[in-house]
Structure 1
Amino acid sequence: MTQTDAEIRSILRDTKTIACIGISANPVRPSHFVARYLHNRNYRVIPVNPGQAGKTLFGEVVHADLSTLKDAKVDMIDIFRRPEAVPEILDQALEYLMPHLKTVWMQIGVEHEDAAERARAHGLNVIQNKCPKIEYQRLFGELRKAGFNTGIISSRL
């Protein structure tokens, strides 16, 4: 199931808190760069990486897993892990982040249809093989400013 641009735009507009799973402390890694971008767009980005647990990124303490985020009211999880890790991540999300969680977002190159179907069965939006940074830039006009043809017609510059 593929979301329309309107559905993705709505998800990005309604999301306030994102748990970024598999984030790197290395600023040139895609997970760090994407999380920093989202943080700079006023999302609360909660970093999740067991190897970095206890450190601080973007003003937030890095968590080892989702079990300590029960009270964080996470709207979306952004998964920067291999596809085979997705089912376990989804298990934790369903156990610790419901009922507030609304979206499971799997980064470019990450797809797991069985986990996606299970998430949908729990009423969650599922986006696979896309990047929220790229989608934000595409849908909210930032790529047009850089001269990219986004396929979206608008009178705004």
Structure 2
Amino acid sequence: MPLTDDADLDRLLDAETIAVIGCSTTPGKAAHDIPAYLQQQGYRVIPVNPFADEILGEHAYDALADVEEDVDIVNVFRPSEEVPEILDAVRERHAARGDATAAWLQLGISHDDAATAAESDGIEVVQDRCMKVEHRRLRG
């Protein structure tokens, strides 16, 4: 079951490093402004976007598998139909490295079957929730 309990969401917000799949170079887009907000709150934001070299002053990686740093949460700004492939990459990374213990699918993004499969491999999944909204609500 995807995480919905406030205590669980708040616990996930203790993360330090967030890889953002679909991070945008365009200010004004949620996929840019929300990672920028998270960065301003002290999180290390690692952009994953094969069409950019740098976003928010950080090197942008082509794929999650290319990220060298340990990742706590994989934050997803891609359409729901891409979620199975993305969560497969999270599962592979988690199995190989032991990091990427959570996936956070932004508002409007969900895929129950892929989330269930990821959870069976020990990955906590949040679906259809904005990380910025939840951070503001829970951390004020």
Identify whether the pair has TM-score above 0.5, normalized to the shorter chain.
Answer: yes
1:56 counterpart = 2:63:
no
Residue 50 of structure 1: CA displacement?
A: 1.2
Q: Are the counterparts in 1 of residues 103 and 126 from structure 2 also a CA contact under 8 Å?
A: yes
Same amino acid, percent of matched pairs = 39
Give SS of 2:51's match: helix
Give SS of 1:51's match: coil
State how 1:92-103 maps to structure 2 within 5 Å. 92-97=89-94, 98-103=97-102
The 1-side partners of 2:65 and 2:110 are apart by 23
Which ranges in structure 2 are unaligned for 5 or more consecutive residues?
Answer: none
Give SS of 1:100's match: coil
Report the more deviating stretch, 33-42 or 2-11.
2-11
1:77 pairs with 74, 77, 83, which one? 74
The 2-side partners of 1:115 and 1:16 are apart by 25
- Name the counterpart of 2:64: 66
| TM-score between both structures, scaled by the size of structure 1 | 0.83
Superposed CA offset, 1:70-106 (max 9, x none):
x311010011001111111112222234411111110
Which ranges in structure 1 are unaligned for 5 or more consecutive residues?
Answer: 142-157
Give SS of 2:13's match: helix
Aligned residues: 137
CA RMSD of superposed structures (Å) = 1.2
The 2-side partners of 1:22 and 1:101 are apart by 16
The 2-side partners of 1:101 and 1:19 are apart by 9
| TM-score between both structures, scaled by the size of structure 2 | 0.93
- Name the counterpart of 2:129: 130
RCO greater where, 1 or 2, for CA within 8 Å and sep 6 or more?
2
The 2-side partners of 1:24 and 1:57 are apart by 7
The 2-side partners of 1:93 and 1:125 are apart by 11
The 1-side partners of 2:56 and 2:107 are apart by 22
Residue 56 of structure 1: CA displacement?
A: 1.6
Structure of higher CA gyration radius: 1
Which 4+ residue blocks in structure 1 deviate beyond 6 angstroms? Answer: none
